[in-house]
Amino acid sequence: MTEKKKLTTLSQELQGKLVKNIITDSIIFERTFFGVNEIIKAFNPKEENWEADSNYNGIGSCFPIMGYTGTFEDEKITDKLYSLFVEKTKKDFNKPVDQRYSADDLAEHIYIDWLSNIKAFNNISKT
């Protein structure tokens, strides 16, 4: 597998901070989105979901920063990273409020999982 071409010249530390900030923002959006839907359904349980997420793609902003530019090969890992984000965000949202991670802490956990999955993916791709 070839070295990923970065779209930015950020240091690894700054890149990680930026990606974690984007993940944090996306977590806050998801929590707000889920919360608004719960409020709407409190008034009418049969109401359709609020569709604000159709115009929001904050989490997708992470991938080019991390060097993934949308090639077919890139989609294999970015789909996995996105799925991890959705899985962890929903799992956390389903906890009682007082047991949820802060958005910053959840973003840190997601980012660490992303790095682990990227490393595993790159090791598999090299063989």
Q: Where are the domains of the chain?
A: 12-126
For residue 17, the one-letter residue type is K
Q: What share of the chain has pLDDT > 90, as a percent? A: 45
State pLDDT tens for residues 28-61.
Answer: 988 888 887 778 778 777 777 666 555 567 888 8
Task: Report residue 2 as tokens.
Answer: 């070839």
C-alpha to C-alpha distance for 82 and 84, rounded to whole angstroms: 5
Q: What is the pLDDT of residues 72-87, one digit of tens each?
A: 888 999 999 999 999 9
- Please name which of 52, 53, 66 lies closest in space to residue 18, comparing C-alpha atoms: 66
pLDDT above 70 covers what percent of the chain? Answer: 85
Q: Are the C-beta atoms of residues 31 and 100 closer than 8 Å to each other?
A: no
- Average pLDDT of the chain, as a whole number: 84
* pLDDT given for residue 17 in this prediction: 94
